[in-house]
């Protein structure tokens, strides 16, 4: 396995289970997309589904299209596209993240061994021409499309800096659960896609808006979702029954899609959303966004975005990777920033103001122990805590830092606070600011409009991202042992039931409650399923 792909499997916590394919290329079906004819790359005999892999959904974002909104593909019907060449968008990892994962996996023994050497070299599959998607279509749906089936679209996470389609796992388990839950046994179609990350996807600020397009990674996502609306019927899918789901930056991306344009440009290109541990970094104001841009351009020895479009890809890759490598603890440097258009403000603000698509049905989730490996072990006193706050929230006024450190998370360890020492204090502050509060914003906004659902993932060790193993469960593994298989299967049934019916409780042992005025969630542990009150509904 190539080094970066292997490392990303390690840090994402999910290794895709191998599937057995036996069909020959000549026996596989094709789909006429209007701009190209695409052939399935394989047929899974066990799961009875076709895999249409590496379908182009946008032109190569290179040259003059670099740092601009994605453009629809150019028509090319001369040859049948087989999708046999994979790709991922340029990747970048932070040293702190690589270090903490290496410690967790016992690759190294102490922080003294940390360094950039833990970040693997580029994978040969990484390139700018990366805007492709995969469609996994059950044979029953594809071969008989008269009754179209629901669609689940996965948006991967990765700190808005790394990740790629297919990395988080094989959707065979989800598709199988969907067939079990679906009375017709047809199940769902599964789609996932690449989008630009890091500096390639998330430049923002006034100078970007004047000379390019901000947040093009979000626009990649929107174009892929619109592609689903335009084309999924060709695979047997129902464009009016699309559920997007995503974790971490993928969940945060869904929040940005729901609040796009402040909700003023009609409905989003999906009907439902499952939002797991949504990550929304608090990217600061215009000055800080422009400072990042100038740092990036300076590393390229250019002064404008237009000049950067002429720079060789290798130089841009290095500049982006170097900036992400030195990201402050808990961050990855780049993230969506307010741009006056697609992102008029951060999602939490827009949700509070009513600036979002109110037609979407939602399910939210967060983990019990989100930030174990986001939190520095150097948090041993209040000075370090405050210094880390300043690094995490650059540009925050002293009064804000003081309020966070003294009022929201005071250094009191005598039982009156939900933490016992400086480390758990830092861990809680990062978890709430980075992930948990975002689910609260969603529930507060949407539960007023109708029935919403949510769950808390408390299966040991409940690290950020561990639930992705369970989402893509395909049988017991080192991460999901046989003892945890029942809860993995149940989680999948909740997810596919929501996609199929808008409610999560078909085939449920314990019904996931409506969030409602009681602020109720379902808590998943290895041994039980319990109804609890949402802990994020607190004064902080």
Helix, strand, coil percent values for the chain (each to nearest 5): 40, 15, 45
DSSP one-letter code for 407: I
Are 354 and 448 within 8 A, CB to CB?
no
Q: What interhelical angle do 95-104 and 3-12 show, nearest 10?
A: 70
**Residues 433, 198: Cα–Cα separation, whole Å:** 21
Are 273 and 362 within 8 A, CB to CB?
yes
Instruction: Please pick, among 248, 447, 462, 497, the residue that the annotation labels catalytic.
Output: 248
Distance between the two ends of the chain, CA-based, in angstroms? 44
Residue 126 is among the residues annotated as catalytic for this protein? no
- 414-450 burial, b for 16+ CB within 10 Å, e for fewer? eeeeebeebbebbbbbbbbbbbbbbbbbbbbbbbeee
Instruction: Please pick, among 95, 126, 370, 523, the residue that the annotation labels catalytic.
Output: 370
What phi and psi, each to the nearest 5 degrees, are found at residue 486?
-60, -40
Closest to 153 (Cα-Cα) out of 139, 138, 172, 134: 134
Q: Whats the size of the chain, residue-wise?
A: 540
**Residues 514, 516: Cα–Cα separation, whole Å:** 6
**Residues 508, 491: Cα–Cα separation, whole Å:** 9
Residue 528 is among the residues annotated as catalytic for this protein? no
**Residues 256, 233: Cα–Cα separation, whole Å:** 26
Write down the residue that tokens 């629809």 correspond to: 72
Q: How many CB atoms lie within 10 A of CB 264?
A: 10
The C-alpha angle 122, 123, 129, rounded to 5 degrees, equals 100
Are 218 and 160 within 8 A, CB to CB?
no
Provide the sign of the torsion angle of the four alpha carbons 352, 355, 359, 360, taken in this order: negative
Active site residues: 248, 370
């Amino acid at each position: 396995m190539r080094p970066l792909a292997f490392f990303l499997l390690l840090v994402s916590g999910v290794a895709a289970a191998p599937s057995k394919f036996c069909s020959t290329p000549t026996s596989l079906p094709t789909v006429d997309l209007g701009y190209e004819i695409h052939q399935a790359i394989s047929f899974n005999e066990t799961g009875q589904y076709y895999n249409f892999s590496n379908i182009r959904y946008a032109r190569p974002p290179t040259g003059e299209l670099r740092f601009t909104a994605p453009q629809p593909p150019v028509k090319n019907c001369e040859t049948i596209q087989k999708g046999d060449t994979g790709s991922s968008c340029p990747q970048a990892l932070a040293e702190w993240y690589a270090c903490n994962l290496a410690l967790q996996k016992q690759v190294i023994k102490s922080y003294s061994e940390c360094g950039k050497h833990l970040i693997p070299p580029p994978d040969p599959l990484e390139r700018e021409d990366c805007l492709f998607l995969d469609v996994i279509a059950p044979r029953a749906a594809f071969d008989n499309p008269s009754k179209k089936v629901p669609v689940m679209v996965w948006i991967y996470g990765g700190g808005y800096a790394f990740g790629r389609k297919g990395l988080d796992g094989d959707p065979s388990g989800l598709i199988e659960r969907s067939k079990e839950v679906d009375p017709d046994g047809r199940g769902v179609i599964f789609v996932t896609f690449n989008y630009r990350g890091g500096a390639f996807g998330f430049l923002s600020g006034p100078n970007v808006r004047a000379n390019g397009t901000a947040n093009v990674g979000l626009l990649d996502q929107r174009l892929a979702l619109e592609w689903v609306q335009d084309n999924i019927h060709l695979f047997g899918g129902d464009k009016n029954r699309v559920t997007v789901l995503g974790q971490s930056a993928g969940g945060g991306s869904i929040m940005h899609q729901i609040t796009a344009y402040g909700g003023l440009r009609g409905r989003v290109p999906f009907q439902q959303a499952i939002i797991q541990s949504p990550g929304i970094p608090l990217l600061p104001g215009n000055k800080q966004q422009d400072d990042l841009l100038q740092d990036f351009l300076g590393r390229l020895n250019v002064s404008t975005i237009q000049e950067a479009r002429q720079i060789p890809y290798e130089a841009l890759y290095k500049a982006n990777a170097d900036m992400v490598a030195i990201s402050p603890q808990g961050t990855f440097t780049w993230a969506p920033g307010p741009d006056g258009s697609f992102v008029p403000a951060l999602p939490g603000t827009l949700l509070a103001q009513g600036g979002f698509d109110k037609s979407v049905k939602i399910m939210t989730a967060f983990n019990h122990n989100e930030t174990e490996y986001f939190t520095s072990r150097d948090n041993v006193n209040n000075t370090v805590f405050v210094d880390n706050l300043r690094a995490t929230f650059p540009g925050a006024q002293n009064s804000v830092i003081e309020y966070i450190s003294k009022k929201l998370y005071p250094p009191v360890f005598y039982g009156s606070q939900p933490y016992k020492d400086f480390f758990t204090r830092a861990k809680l502050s990062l978890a709430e600011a980075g992930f948990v509060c975002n689910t609260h914003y969603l529930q507060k906004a949407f539960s007023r409009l109708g029935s919403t659902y949510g769950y808390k993932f408390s299966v040991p060790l409940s690290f950020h991202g561990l639930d992705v193993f369970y989402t893509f469960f395909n049988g017991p593994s080192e991460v999901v042992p046989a003892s945890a298989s029942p809860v993995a299967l149940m989680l999948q049934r909740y997810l596919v039931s929501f996609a199929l019916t808008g409610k999560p409780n078909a085939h449920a042992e314990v019904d996931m409650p409506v969030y409602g005025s009681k602020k109720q969630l379902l808590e998943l542990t290895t041994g039980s399923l319990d109804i609890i009150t949402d802990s994020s509904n607190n004064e902080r």
